[in-house]
């Protein structure tokens, strides 16, 4: 019988079925679910597994640190460079996944508010430019720049202390950068957690 790590199942959010939220060690999964980062099989038993140490870049940026400069390509195959403007870097693991889609769609929905606050929002992942282009079109994201940190693979994520070398992806995080290119705010999230966009807006408004 399949087993499933109790510490890894999707936490309740708008992107995952609520029925998974209350699973405990020893419970049996009645209905399966599959996404890029997990597969839960019907009939599986939740098995308690100690948390594993994840190999994420060791250096972490904090408020007041200088933001590493970068130039990446967006979904329109145009170069985008971090500039002296208030900027939100919204790192996500991979395109074509449900939580990442919500994260990027939310940036697009809130673009008018970000414009009013003078904040430029960028979505960043390790996917290639063609993947970003197709994904943006599929989601209807046209006003928000989706940047490809593809090659050197995950270089920008690594500079910001977010690259997961074991999986070859970045962690999920929002980083707010001041116009003087110093870090204002950093929030990292669990892999299945949808970032709270209202929290981001509140911080950006402060």
Positions marked catalytic: 100
Length of the chain: 206
CA 122, CA 174: separation in Å to the nearest integer? Answer: 10
CA 73, CA 123: separation in Å to the nearest integer? Answer: 11
CA 86, CA 113: separation in Å to the nearest integer? Answer: 13
Helix (H) or strand (E) holding 155: helix 155-159
The residue with tokens 């949808």 is 194
Residue 170 vs residues 115, 148, 154, 196: alpha-carbon distances, Å? 26, 12, 7, 18
């Amino acid at each position: 019988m399949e087993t499933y790590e109790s510490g890894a199942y999707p936490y309740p959010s708008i992107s995952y079925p609520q029925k998974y939220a209350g699973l405990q060690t020893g419970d049996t999964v009645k209905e399966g679910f599959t996404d890029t980062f997990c597969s839960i099989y019907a009939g599986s038993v939740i098995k308690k597994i100690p948390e594993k140490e994840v190999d994420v870049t060791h250096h972490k940026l904090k408020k007041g640190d200088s933001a590493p400069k970068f130039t990446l390509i967006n979904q329109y195959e145009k170069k985008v460079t971090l500039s002296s403007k208030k900027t939100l870097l919204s790192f996500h693991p991979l395109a074509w996944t449900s939580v990442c889609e919500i994260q990027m769609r939310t940036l697009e929905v809130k673009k008018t508010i970000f414009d009013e606050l003078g904040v430029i929002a960028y979505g960043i992942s390790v996917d290639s430019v063609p993947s970003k282009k197709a994904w943006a079109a599929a989601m209807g994201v046209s006003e928000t720049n989706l940047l490809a940190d593809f090659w050197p693979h995950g270089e920008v994520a690594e500079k910001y202390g977010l690259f997961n070398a074991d999986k070859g992806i970045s962690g999920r995080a929002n980083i707010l950068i001041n116009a003087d290119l110093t870090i204002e705010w950093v929030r990292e999230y669990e892999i299945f957690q949808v970032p709270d966009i209202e929290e981001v807006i509140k911080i950006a408004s402060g």
